């Protein structure tokens, strides 16, 4: 694999718990609705599972973080099923039908043994330059009839309304962290809308893209997510040229009740292995 650059965030950072909690509050309901709704597809019986249930399924959660989605998967598959949570630095412990695998996706090392009825990755592949190769490897781990579900942000770095002079500061923060931190470390801001074509090119069928987004008010999950990003990238933001006095104001602006930001749009794309 080529073009390998280090991901700028880490589960080992002190702010990672707040980061994971915010993302869980912000996105888990939509993610789980997306996963559970697959059982209503006419093509679902091709998984070999009983119609209308994920019971007994084998699932892989890629970039599991603190494991909020993996834990919810456990209840979908039941005691007879299997869930594997994969991360570079897992912040979740194995338990019952939940296995935990530490793996650097950039290493090229083998993925966990499948096959899997469902593989899900959220806000992961967009940050990894060999994302197309990794997607192909994930698709190969699906059982015939199995589903791949990839979800990623198409970031919006524009604020709709912020208290006082905060709009310019937060807009500078989002622009700088997006372009000079994430993009500079290999994030592809165009990945999310390209996923549909990637899955189609891999030969997956019944490919479908849905999007969802919301406005992020001061103190809510979206604002807490951005505050956690601020904490984890603080030094990189200073190095990128954002003034310390402006950077230091970001957490207070994010907590202010008058803050309102157009949240990042999530592209949720599913495809089924023939």
Q: Residue 116: give its domain's CATH number.
A: 3.40.50.150
In eight-state DSSP terms, residue 88 is S
| 239 domain residue, yes or no | no
Cis amide leading into 86 (omega within 30) = no
pTM (two decimals):
0.95
State the residue range of the domain holding 126: 16-156+188-215+265-272
- Sequence-separated (6 or more) residues with CB below 8 Å from residue 40: 52
Tens of each residue's pLDDT in the chain, 274 residues: 445 556 778 788 989 999 999 999 999 999 999 999 999 999 999 999 998 899 999 999 999 999 999 999 999 999 999 999 999 999 999 999 999 999 999 998 999 999 999 999 999 999 999 999 999 999 999 999 999 999 999 987 666 777 666 888 998 999 999 999 999 999 999 999 999 999 999 999 999 999 999 999 999 999 999 999 999 999 999 999 999 999 999 999 999 998 998 899 999 999 999 9
Q: Is 138 among the domain residues? A: yes
- Residue 142 tokens read as 């699906």
Residue 16 tokens read as: 């990672």
Is 255 inside a domain boundary?
A: no
Residue 23 within a domain: yes
Residue 260 lies in a domain: no
Q: Pull the structure tokens for residue 77.
A: 């598959």
Q: Which two tokens stand for residue 152?
A: 């990623």
Residue 241 lies in a domain: no
Q: What span, in angstroms and rounded, lies between the C-alpha atoms of 165 and 169?
A: 7
Residue 53: other Cβ atoms inside 10 A: 14
* CB 55 within 8 Å of CB 44: no
User: Does 66 map to a domain?
Assistant: yes
Backbone angles phi, psi at 259, to 5 degrees: -70, 135
Task: Give strand pairing partners of 99.
Answer: 84
Tell whether 253 is covered by a domain: no
Query: Largest alpha-carbon pair distance within the chain?
Result: 58
Distance CA 113, CA 2 (A): 24
Check: CB of residue 69 under 8 Å from CB of residue 61.
yes
- Total number of domains constituting the chain: 1
Q: State the Cα–Cα distance between residues 249 and 258, nearest whole angstrom.
A: 15
Nearest to 68 by CA among 2, 22, 15, 116: 22
């Amino acid at each position: 694999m080529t073009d390998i650059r280090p991901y700028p965030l880490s589960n080992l950072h002190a702010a990672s718990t707040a980061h994971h909690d915010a993302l869980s509050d912000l996105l888990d309901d939509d993610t789980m609705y997306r996963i559970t709704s697959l059982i209503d597809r006419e093509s679902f019986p091709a998984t070999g599972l009983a119609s209308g249930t994920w019971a007994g399924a084998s699932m892989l959660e890629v970039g599991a973080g603190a494991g909020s989605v993996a834990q919810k998967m456990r209840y979908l598959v039941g005691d007879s099923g299997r869930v594997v949570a994969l991360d570079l630095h897992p912040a979740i412990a194995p338990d019952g039908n939940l296995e935990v695998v530490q793996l650097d996706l950039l290493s090229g090392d083998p993925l966990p043994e499948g096959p899997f009825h469902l593989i899900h990755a959220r806000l992961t592949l967009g940050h990894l330059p060999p994302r197309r190769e990794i997607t192909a490897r994930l698709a190969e781990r699906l059982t015939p009839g199995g589903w791949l579900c990839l979800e990623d942000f198409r970031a919006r770095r524009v604020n709709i309304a912020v208290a006082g002079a905060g709009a310019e500061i937060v807009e500078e923060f989002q622009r700088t962290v997006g372009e000079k931190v994430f993009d500079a470390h290999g994030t592809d801001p165009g990945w999310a809308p390209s996923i549909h074509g990637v899955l189609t090119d891999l030969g997956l069928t019944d490919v479908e893209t849905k999007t969802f987004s919301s406005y992020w008010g001061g103190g809510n999950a979206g604002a807490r997510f951005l505050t956690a990003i601020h904490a984890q990238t603080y030094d990189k933001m200073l190095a990128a040229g954002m003034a310390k006095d402006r950077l230091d104001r970001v957490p207070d602006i994010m907590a202010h009740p008058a803050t309102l930001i157009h949240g990042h749009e999530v592209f949720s794309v599913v495809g089924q292995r023939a």
